Structures are given as structure tokens and as C-alpha cells.
Structure 1
Amino acid sequence: MRYPGGTLIAEPRVNDRIRVKRVRLIAPDGAQIGEKDIDEARWLAAQLGLDLVEVAADARPPVVRMMDYGKFKYDQSVKAREARKNQTRTVIKEVQFRPKIGTSDFDVKRKRVVKFLRQGDKVKCTMRFRGREMAHPELGRDILKRLFDEVSDYGEIETMPKLEGRNMTMVLVPIRNIATELLEDDNTDED
């Protein structure tokens, strides 16, 4: 079977695709039945209305199990979907500042940084310098320091303010326990 990305996914051999003479047979409940001829194992599986699935092809003799293969595949896809849903995603949001930012503009951007940190996202704070503002990078550093002092209850510094060309960047990460508590509170409110 081909995966949409183009790579092959190895699926176990089922029923008539098993091409060996003798197999070690396992019952649906997990009990070992023992070594059987492949035809006898297929007959036993057919009597129970189950499929014969090769679970360990490298073993000698190969290990096969009687199971409902369709249900098995469905259960695996549900588990994979749950695993993908529970993965943590890291999103980096960016908020841009200028050295001569007004107090109300600063407050709006500070609230946005707090909102992103409460959602559990990283925040990249960028101070953009133009023209002669490059002569005073300490003004930008002071604004970023003031921003951190005001949002320190929600996040901590991952990358200290660093001048790169005409931009000074600082990365904030949410404080882990606060972000998870807020997400849990949001989930209980929805119920």
C-alpha cells in the first residue's frame, strides 16, 4: 500500500497471502495453540469467521494470529488519530514593536503577547529599527525588558534580546503549568 506522501507502508500478510508451510498459531484471546500446517490454520480461522494475520514474519516458524482484520485496522487508525490529536503543536506568533512606540500601542501589543502566551504559543517579539534609530539600540532593549517585566507572570525568556541587522528579537515561551491549567479551564467551561 502507498501512503499519500509516496512511501510504502508495510501491511501484514493476511489469509491466502501467507506463503509458508507451517506457522505458530495464536488464538483470538492470545492463547498459543501451537505449530500448525497453514491449511489447517486457515481452516480453523474460517470456522471462527476470523482472518489469519501474520504478526511476526521473521520468526521461525512465522507467528500468525486469528483476528478480525477489518476491526484491527479500524482500531489502529483510531489510535493513530488519537495520537495525532494529542500531539503538542508549537506555534510561534510574532509581535512587532518600534523604539518610539506610544503607551497605548504598547499596551495593546502587550495584551496580544499575554493572549498568545495563555494559549500556549511561543511569542517572537521583534523590535524594528529604521534610520538613525540604529544609533540607540538600548532604547529597543529597554522596551523589550519592560515588556518582559509586564508579562513575566505568563511567560519566560527563551532567547534574550539580540540585535540581528536592523531587528532586535526576543523569544518568550509560556510557563508550562499556567498554560496547561488555562487550557484545562477552557475545556471544562465547554462541557
Structure 2
Amino acid sequence: MSEPRINERIRVPEVRLVGPSGEQVGVVRVEDALRLAEEADLDLVEVAPDARPPVCKLMDYGKFKYESAMKARDARRNQVNTQLKEIQFRPKIDDHDYATKRGHVERFLKGGDKVKALVRFRGREQSRPELGIRLLQRLAEEVAELGTIESHPRQDGRTMVMVLAPTRKKTEVKSDQRRRREQARAAKRASKTDEAND
């Protein structure tokens, strides 16, 4: 977004002026608007340059710029950046390998990410799709408290695909992690001050 024009950079004969608390002043000459801004110790900021005449507001531009930067930062922080993680299985997977991969799925779902579970079939395994369905349903049942099935198992050539969505949103997970980190820092600081006092 380009910077709005302020004060002397506004070069039009007339502007529609809005007061500091949002009240409509009306259409005034730009010199009068600049004089009002100077008397109120505020800036004249062009908020709608495409309007006829342009709309300007009396405000503290530095404060406005700071607040809009903080809003943008908070919006970025709370932005949902859920990723789609992929885990591959084979129809005749060993129990230990299955447990390891299920652990990865649980970790991804706890982190607020979606999981795409794939079962790859080779050769004659393609004639036994029920093995893949059984495996994916077992996985979905075992991680049911962390995630729900977003798309049920479906065969796509040599692979069977199922997507699991987390029950908690990524923003909730991030805010919990941030809160835990702050509590840990506070506890660490408290223990350091206790040691220093002893």
C-alpha cells in the first residue's frame, strides 16, 4: 500500500474534511484545512484520494502509522498457515513401522496441520484395496481425539488417499505454545531472583 499524502503534499484546491473524532466538517479550501490541522497540532492526511473532492482527515499521522503497523503484525501472527503433511504407508506394513508413522501423524495433528495419508500398492496388491481401506480406517480411529476425517479413503491409481484435519486450529496451538513459553520464562526469571536473594 502506498503512503497517503499528508500536509503540504496535498495539492488540490478543495478537500472534504473529516475532524479528529470522525465528524464531518464539509468541503473546505486546502489552505483552511492545513491551518485547522496546525491549530489542533495534528496532520492533514488524505484518506480517500480518488473521491471528488479528495477526503482528508485531521489525525496524528505518526500514531496512525504505528497503530496500522501493529494491526498488520497481529494479523500476520494470527494468520492461519496450516500445511498439508504427507505420510506414506504400504498395505502390509509392520506393526512397529505403523506405530512410528502413527506417531508422526499424531505430532502433525497436534501441531494443527492436516495430514494426507497415502497407501501405495505394488503389483498384485492392487487387487486388494480392502487392505488399504482397513489400514486407513484403523489410523483414523486411533487418532480420532486429535483429528477428523476430511476426505474418506479413495483409490487413485496405485495409491489410496485419505485426508485428516486437526480438531484444534493452528492459531489455538500457536497461542498455547506462546503462553507456555512465556510462563516458562517467567518461572526461570523467578528462580533466578530467588537464587540471587539467597
Please point out which of 10, 16, 23 is paired with 2:15. 23
How do 1:24-173 and structure 2 match up within 5 A?
Answer: 24-57=16-49, 59=51, 61-173=53-165
Q: TM-score, normalised by structure 2?
A: 0.79
- Distance in 2 (alpha carbons) for counterparts of 1:61 and 1:184: 45
- Distance in 1 (alpha carbons) for counterparts of 2:67 and 2:58: 16
Distance 1:68 1:182, change over 3 A: closer
After alignment, is 44-53 or 148-157 more displaced? 44-53
CA root-mean-square deviation: 2.5
Q: Percent identity?
A: 53
Question: Which SS does the other structure have where 1:93 is aligned?
Answer: strand
How far does residue 182 in structure 1 lie from its aligned partner after superposition?
Answer: 5.8
Which residue in the other structure is 1:189 paired with? 180
**1:75-106 Cα shifts (integer Å, max 9, x gaps):** 21221111111111221111110111111111
Match of 2:180, as an amino acid? D
More helix by share: 2
Q: TM-score, normalised by structure 1?
A: 0.81
Match of 2:163, as an amino acid? V
Q: Is the 2:78–2:171 contact (alpha carbons within 8 Å) kept by the matching residues of 1?
A: no
Question: Which SS does the other structure have where 2:161 is aligned?
Answer: strand
Match of 1:109, as an amino acid? K
Match of 1:14, as an amino acid? I
Match of 1:52, as an amino acid? L
- Distance in 1 (alpha carbons) for counterparts of 2:88 and 2:111: 19
Runs (5+) with no aligned partner, structure 2: 184-198
**1:125-152 Cα shifts (integer Å, max 9, x gaps):** 0001112221212112111111112111
Runs (5+) with no aligned partner, structure 1: 1-8
Q: Is the 2:34–2:44 contact (alpha carbons within 8 Å) kept by the matching residues of 1?
A: yes
